[in-house]
């Protein structure tokens, strides 16, 4: 498989955000979403004294990234792990604190491009969608076994799908006749279930349902809820975190954690804010930064991205 097609999103901006922390001798940076190793390769190249820890739950991605990062030798340590396992991984490696953390959330280029993984609605494939195919339940199992009410909740909560009830009614009727196994049948069913007006706007009508199934199969939001606070806790003072999100649900979670860390927690009305109530983070981005038009032209997957960054300025409040 060619790695040249993989263009890391907002690469230079991520490097710039992390640079002040990673230019220090002996800095450790964690790429929590290694993927094909594009961001990691750039980090190792830009910061010659830094050591990298790369995490990915997808064994195939780890293998390919390992080949790509082999020239960096023992400066790169790659670990098969989900990113909420960050504290355990750092504990096993004997790394108490790190200077940089990068998250590039969502589905990787490789997973979208490999037809057999079932992530993409544009081509027929088995409905799998597991980022780690060695564990967990597939999207087909979710569609074929979840109660209708639970499927409606998932499509509404994770896909922000207005027509969740219509789609689920059609799924439940069809799965009795024959269980779902492939993506093309699901795409056709969604097209047929939606009102005409809904099919004329917003790209492929299956997009939101596929997003919702992927998030459910991989437990993405619950993992992220644990992972962002864990990453902030792992940062040394002066350390920096950069997070690339691709839909509003992810971005909302990231925003909540970073803005809470950047707020003072003092009771209202104190003339002077004591140390224990001072913010422990400083926000590095004003709101969420977007990709430039030039970058989106070069890499259409950058279109929905939201980038947020923060710097650790104090230890945990006692």
Question: How, if at all, do strands 306-312 and 281-283 pair?
Answer: antiparallel
39 labeled part of a ligand binding site: yes
> HEC string of the chain?
CCCCCCCCCCHHHHHHHHHHHHCCCCCEEEECCCCCCHHHHHHHHHCCCCEEEEEECCHHHHHHHHHHHHHHHHHEEEEECCHHHHHHHHHHHCCCCEEEEEEECCCCHHHHHCHHHCCCCCCCCECCCCCCCCCCCCHHHHHHHCCHHHHHHHHHHHHCCCCHHHHHHHHHHHHHHCCCCEHHHHHHHHHHHCCHHHHCCCCCCCHHHHHHHHHHHHCHHHHHHHHHHHHHHHEEEEEEEEEEECCHHHHHHHHHHHHHHCCCCCCCCCCCCCHHHCCCEEECCCCCECCCHHHHHHCHHHCCCEEEEEEECCCCCC
d(CA 303, CA 190): 24
149 labeled part of a ligand binding site: no
104 labeled part of a ligand binding site: yes
37 labeled part of a ligand binding site: yes
Task: State the first-to-last Cα distance of the chain, in angstroms, to the nearest integer.
Answer: 50
C-alpha 225, offset from chain centre: 11
83 labeled part of a ligand binding site: yes
72 labeled part of a ligand binding site: no
Residue list, annotated binding site for S-adenosyl-L-methionine: 37-39, 56, 83, 104, 111
Residue list, annotated binding site: 37-39, 56, 83, 104, 111
């Amino acid at each position: 498989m060619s790695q040249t097609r993989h263009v890391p999103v907002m690469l230079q901006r991520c490097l710039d955000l992390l640079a002040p922390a990673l230019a220090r001798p002996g800095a450790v940076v964690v790429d929590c979403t290694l993927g094909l190793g594009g961001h990691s390769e750039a980090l190792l190249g830009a910061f010659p004294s830094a050591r990298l820890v790369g995490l990915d739950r997808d064994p195939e991605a780890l293998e390919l990234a390992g080949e790509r990062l082999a020239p960096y030798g023992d400066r790169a340590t790659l670990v098969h792990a989900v990113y909420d396992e960050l504290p355990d991984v750092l504990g096993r490696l004997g790394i108490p604190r790190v200077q940089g953390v990068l998250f590039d959330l969502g589905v990787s280029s490789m997973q979208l491009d490999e037809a057999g993984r079932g992530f993409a609605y544009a081509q027929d494939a088995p409905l799998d969608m597991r980022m780690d195919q060695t564990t967990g339940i597939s999207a087909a199992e979710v569609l074929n076994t979840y109660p209708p009410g639970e499927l409606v909740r998932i499509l509404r909560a994770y896909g922000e799908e207005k027509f969740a009830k219509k789609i689920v009614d059609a799924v439940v009727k069809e799965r009795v006749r024959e269980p779902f196994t492939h993506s093309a049948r699901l795409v056709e069913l969604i097209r047929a279930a939606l009102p005409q007006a809904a099919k004329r706007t917003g790209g492929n009508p299956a997009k939101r349902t596929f997003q919702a199934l992927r998030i459910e199969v991989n437990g993405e939001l619950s993992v992220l809820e644990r992972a962002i606070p864990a990453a902030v806790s792992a940062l040394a003072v002066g350390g920096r975190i950069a997070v690339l999100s691709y839909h509003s649900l992810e971005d909302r979670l990231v925003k909540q954690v970073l803005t809470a860390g950047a707020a003072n927690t003092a009771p209202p009305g104190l003339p002077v804010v004591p140390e224990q109530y001072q913010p422990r983070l400083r926000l590095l981005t004003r709101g969420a930064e977007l990709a430039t038009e030039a970058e989106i032209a070069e890499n259409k997957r950058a279109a929905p991205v939201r980038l947020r960054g923060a710097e650790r300025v104090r230890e945990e409040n006692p």
